[in-house]
A and B are shown apart, each in its own frame.
Chain A
Amino acid sequence: MYPVLYENGWLVLYTHDFFTVVGLLAALALYYYELRKRNMLGFEIFWISIAAVVGGSLGARLIVVLDNPAAYFSNLGSMPLSYFLTHSGKGIIGGIVGGYLAIALTKRLFKYKHSTGDCYAPAIPLGMAIGRVGCFFSELPLGTPTDMPWGISVSQQAASQFAVCPGCSGKMHPSMVYEIIFHLAAFALILRYRNLVRVQGDTLKLYLLAAVVFRFLVEYVRGSREYAFGFTSAQVALLILTVPLVIHFVRQWRRGVYRMPEPPVARASPGRREPVMPTRLVRDKEAGLP
């Protein structure tokens, strides 16, 4: 485990920060490629993307404040902002929510109608997988105790730094590795099968729904503190996030969006071969249906 990747005098490169930035840059590069491939690269998109990064980074911070409001608000008047920034945390759930809200607001500002979700769909799991490598190598508390053969232990020196680490004395679930595997699998599946998703933006929403469910389950082996009703704070946030996603899919289904309209029957012009009539139309015609 390597919490510090490089150190030379005043220059200290932390593993977590390094992988966060590499993950972000890789995701942005892939996102740029997807936009370019779809001919969607425009000035509005440029600002929407900037808003996504800013909203995501602010959201990642704000979720920590919501997680522990008493600690933050009681020190608001006595601590400088710089101290809050250096001694506070970052949460990826807040990052995704902040980014999503920023995109939605900026799109509304620009009156931008096109769906951009499919461009983000492969970029987010790629960035998440890389970022989680940083979490894993930073020797963070991994998870609850386990007897599984893939359980991982941390050094005594690292364990002594954590006030709460129920599994630090033995082997723990490598929850970060579970997440890395999930996001890499999601990345591969999205690249391979995204053409099967017909509705714009649904690839991202399907991934988010899967990620929300997976992370909810991972929380049970992550060893996080209980927040309310037996759930951790992340699980509460994930439950809230699930609602709009489920509503979206139900609403789309009820509107009949998943039944794509039939195109007009191909009309031949002189000198052109007769187009093949779709099987369904032939069947309907034979049955005397309109």
Chain B
Amino acid sequence: MSIDLTAIIEYIRQNRQTYTREAITSQLVTAGYNPADVEAAWGSVDVGVPAPPSGYAGTTGLSGGNWDSGSPEQPRSQRLVSSPAFWGYMVGFILLSYILPGGLFWLGASNSDGLIVNIAIGMFILLQLGALVAGVVSLSRNRPRGVGLMTGVLMTLVVLPICAFTIFFGMCLASLGALGPSF
């Protein structure tokens, strides 16, 4: 079974910015195209490789099966976010940044030990600087590690504090409607 996929690929390319994948697939199948050929065409469009030549055979190959993590056709940015190393370094660093200095800080504060509190603050700052430097150094050698560490610093210092402060503190607007701002 073989078919020229060029027409299908062109139709998908023209409409994929506007219509959903399901709608385009359904439209093509209703028009008489083989669902397997439509899937193959989608695979080709997704990966961004040139359309297969006329007479392209088979129903496998470029279909969804090539999308597992780290496949060579996957765009670079997609491979990075799919990489367990990126998530591991980022989440691991965030946890380390908060738990280790935070635990020390709590220990020092509860025992009124200023030295331990200072060590905790110093450790937090050093962790951030260290991760930043390690991230920059790793970028060329191990991109997931480098980007993961630098993203971790940004999340620790900027994103998570903003979210935590705005989400945790305060009250629901419903109660505010009854109480009014309490200042």
Contact A43–B27 (Cβ < 8 Å): no
- Least distance between A195 CB and chain B CB atoms (Å): 5
Contact B175–A113 (Cβ < 8 Å): no
The count of residues in chain B whose C-beta lies closer than 8 Å to any C-beta of chain A is 59
Per the bound structure, the CA–CA distance linking A260 and B28 in Å amounts to 11
Per the bound structure, the CA–CA distance linking A198 and B80 in Å amounts to 31
Contact A162–B173 (Cβ < 8 Å): no
B49 at the interface (CB under 8 A from A): no
1/0 contact string of B106-143 vs chain A (CB within 8 Å): 00000000000000000000000000000000000000
In chain B, what residue has the closest Cβ to A16? B172
Per the bound structure, the CA–CA distance linking A164 and B176 in Å amounts to 10
Q: Which of A55-63, A182-190, A243-251 contacts B (4 or more CB under 8 A)?
A: A55-63
Which listed residue (A39, A41, A87) contacts B181, Cβ 8 A? A87
- Least distance between B62 CB and chain A CB atoms (Å): 13
Total A-B Cβ pairs within 8 A: 194
Contact A199–B176 (Cβ < 8 Å): no
The count of residues in chain A whose C-beta lies closer than 8 Å to any C-beta of chain B is 82
Per the bound structure, the CA–CA distance linking A187 and B31 in Å amounts to 32
Contact A199–B20 (Cβ < 8 Å): yes
Instruction: Give every chain B residue within 8 A of A278 (Cβ-Cβ).
Output: 30-32
Per the bound structure, the CA–CA distance linking A161 and B176 in Å amounts to 12
Per the bound structure, the CA–CA distance linking A256 and B14 in Å amounts to 15
Given contacts A41-B81, A165-B178, 16 further A-B contacts (CB under 8 A): A21-B168, A39-B78, A50-B155, A54-B163, A57-B163, A57-B167, A68-B180, A72-B181, A88-B170, A113-B17, A135-B172, A140-B178, A200-B19, A232-B177, A260-B15, A262-B27
Binding site for A on B (CB under 8 A): 1-4, 7-8, 10-11, 14-15, 17-23, 27-28, 30-34, 46, 54-55, 64, 67, 75, 77-78, 80-82, 147, 155, 159, 162-163, 165-183
